[in-house]
């Protein structure tokens, strides 16, 4: 006999998807607990354990204690909006150093302190949420875990991979666009020389020549 067990963290969470999955797998008896993962008193789980006999099969959709719902997707959207700030700061500073003619890859060591400070303060502020301290905080627990994990991973990507990818793409752009830029520069220089020669033949002085007199 196939027996299914479903657990969700709150009364509001929908179990229809998991029930349909159990039915498609041929589950004959389903036990559902609606309570936090911290609550070890689970009557339906105990009833299932009392009902099971030798030879029965227990089907569980997921052993994760976290919910997967629309709110978690909103947490990811919020995370994306937070983690891109460090990359924007770093890339913007690389552009500034590039315009000044300074080495581009030195921007990362110079910006490592503000990036790490931002990540550290955010992670420390989210630790109580991720731990789930207090009654009812298990609802916000997935958000804290997602934010902390995303901040740590994004910081590593920003400090190590972003400068390398920027340098590779910049070199590729120079390789692809370099000949075209060189041709435009040569064409501009040729037109300037032709214009100067024509002005000299016609006896026209360039306006900037007046300032030398």
> Could you tell me if residue 103 is inside a domain?
yes
> Could you tell me if residue 20 is inside a domain?
yes
Dump pLDDT digits (tens) for 14-23.
778 778 888 8
**Whole-number average pLDDT of the chain:** 77
**Which DSSP symbol is given to 148?**
H
Provide the 10 A C-beta neighbour count for residue 146: 18
Burial class (CB in 10 A: 0-12, 13-18, 19+), 54: exposed
When pLDDT is cut at 50, 70 and 90, the band that residue 177 belongs to is: confident
Dump pLDDT digits (tens) for 99-158.
887 777 777 788 888 888 888 888 888 888 788 776 666 667 777 888 888 888 888 888
* Same domain assignment for residues 78 and 138: yes
As a residue count, the chain comes to 213
Please tell me the predicted confidence (pLDDT) of residue 211.
45
CATH number (domain holding residue 119): 1.20.1640.10
* Same domain assignment for residues 80 and 112: yes
- 89: domain range? 70-178
> Could you tell me if residue 84 is inside a domain?
yes
**Total domain count, the chain:** 2
* Same domain assignment for residues 49 and 91: no
> Could you tell me if residue 212 is inside a domain?
no
Q: Determine the Cα–Cα distance for residues 38 and 7; give it in Å rounded to an integer.
A: 12
Q: Determine the Cα–Cα distance for residues 25 and 3; give it in Å rounded to an integer.
A: 10
* Same domain assignment for residues 156 and 132: yes
């Amino acid at each position: 006999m196939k027996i299914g067990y479903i657990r969700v963290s709150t009364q509001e969470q929908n179990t229809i998807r998991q029930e349909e999955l159990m039915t498609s797998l041929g589950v004959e008896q389903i036990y559902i607990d609606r309570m936090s993962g911290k609550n070890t008193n689970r009557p339906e789980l105990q009833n299932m354990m009392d009902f099971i006999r030798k030879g029965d099969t227990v089907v569980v959709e997921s052993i994760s204690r976290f919910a997967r719902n629309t709110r978690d997707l909103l947490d990811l959207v919020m995370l994306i909006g937070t983690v891109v700030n460090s990359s924007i700061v770093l890339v913007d500073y690389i552009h500034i150093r590039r315009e000044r003619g300074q080495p581009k890859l030195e921007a990362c060591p110079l910006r490592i302190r503000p990036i790490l400070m931002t990540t550290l303060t955010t992670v420390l502020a989210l630790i109580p949420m991720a731990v789930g301290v207090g009654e009812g905080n298990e609802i916000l627990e997935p958000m804290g875990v997602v934010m902390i994990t995303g901040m740590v991973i994004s910081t590593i990507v920003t400090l190590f991979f972003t400068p390398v990818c920027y340098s590779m793409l910049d070199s590729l752009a120079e390789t692809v666009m370099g000949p075209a830029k060189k041709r435009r520069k040569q064409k501009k220089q040729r037109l300037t020389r032709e214009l100067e020669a024509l002005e000299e033949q016609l006896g026209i002085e360039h306006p900037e020549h007046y300032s030398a007199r």
